[in-house]
Structure 1
């Protein structure tokens, strides 16, 4: 395949993967629904930077080396699974508390004086969720090793990085934007406790499964 075909194939596979439900998708849905557009956009930026770093590490072969080292990869799985389980536990705990003490969800709960901190926290949460997800590491190692030839030009590899980052930012930003429109957010905020519960279950299920895999790898 020539470089144009490779880049188009790379973009198509990556975009399909972005739309698949997972931790990244759930994080944007949960937070854009609950805290509004700005939080959703900063989470989108964090996720996209995480994807960019995964892509860069895969292109340079660093991720491949990590994946081929059983103990190191198991430790990464342990950290990633624990983090996702932590997110799930937090979401489910908050859901339980809100069901016991219902409050008014008709307005976003972010206070103005917390807005700056929330930007940083949103970016950090998005970045950590993606970069600590071992499934993302495996995906990009597989994607890059199967599609991007070692002899591909530096310009072609640079364009690939731009495409992966750009598509990620576009998709997650669009998702955050749509979920935070005034009319839709008013409806979604009323159902936010259920959205939190579903997202909590997604985080917990994926996190616990990764955690168990990492323990089995270390023990075995």
Structure 2
């Protein structure tokens, strides 16, 4: 009975998650810099943050945030500040030896908790994600759809997001890919820093519609 609605939700989510944004940039940076394990934990962090968005959307808190300019701006500036912070750290990357063994050493530096937190905070503080899930649960999903079904949609969205970014982490953490990026040395990190800062600045100037 709800298959059509579910497929619509799944398609919209696929288009949204596949478009490059702060989540993609953070997962790629973690995977290339610290390896598959860190990239995977970052992806799981992003996926777990989806439960946060789904939770407040079901509770109606997302509607309150979307209607309050003060709350929206507070969330927006927090997210922008975080992206600017990690972007600035990336810009300060120093040249490193592009040896294969250095990649293995680097992979062990990042803790699972740190990588997970990075992904969770990046997605959790993103006001665009707030508006996306709010519109999904108020416009696309019928309000008369049972809460249990809506929660099921939420679980799917979280799991699908985590799987997508785990695949991204697997791709960018392959030894050949990492070795290629390593040959570019600290310039890759600086490039990702510019991307994150640009996303942060764009986010800072996002207006509530």
Same fold (TM > 0.5): yes
Name the stretch that deviates more: 53-62 or 165-174: 53-62
Give the alignment partner of residue 189 of structure 2, picking from 190, 196, 203: 196
Residues 159/181 of structure 1: CA separation in 2 closer, same or farther (3 Å cut): same
Aligned to 1:205: 198
Q: What SS class does the counterpart of residue 92 from structure 2 fall into?
A: helix
Cα offset, 1:62, TM superposition: 0.9
RMSD (Å) for aligned C-alpha atoms? 1.9
Q: Match for residue 123 of structure 1?
A: 116
Instruction: Show the 5 A alignment for 1:26-175.
Output: 26-94=25-93, 98=94, 102-106=95-99, 107-108=102-103, 109-110=105-106, 112=108, 114=109, 118-175=111-168
Alignment partners' CA distance in 1, 2:50 and 2:69 = 22
Give the aligned partner of residue 176 of structure 1: 169
- Is the alpha carbon distance of 1:62 and 1:212 closer, same or farther for their aligned partners in structure 2, counting shifts above 3 Å? same
54-63 or 194-203, which deviates more = 194-203
- State TM-score, norm by structure 1: 0.86
- 1:175/1:213 Cα in 2 relative to 1: closer, same or farther (>3 Å)? closer
After TM superposition, what 4+ stretches of structure 1 lie above 6 angstroms from structure 2?
Answer: none
Q: Distance in 1 between matches of 2:27 and 2:43?
A: 7
1:33–1:180 CA contact under 8 A, matched in 2: yes
Secondary structure of the corresponding residue to residue 201 of structure 1: helix
Q: Is the 8 A contact 2:34 2:107 kept in 1?
A: no
Unpaired segments of 5 or more residues in structure 2? Answer: none
Q: 1: CA distance between counterparts of 2:90 and 2:10?
A: 32
Distance in 1 between the 2:173 and 2:199 partners? 26
**Are the aligned partners of 1:43 and 1:127 in contact in 2 as well (CA < 8 Å)?**
yes
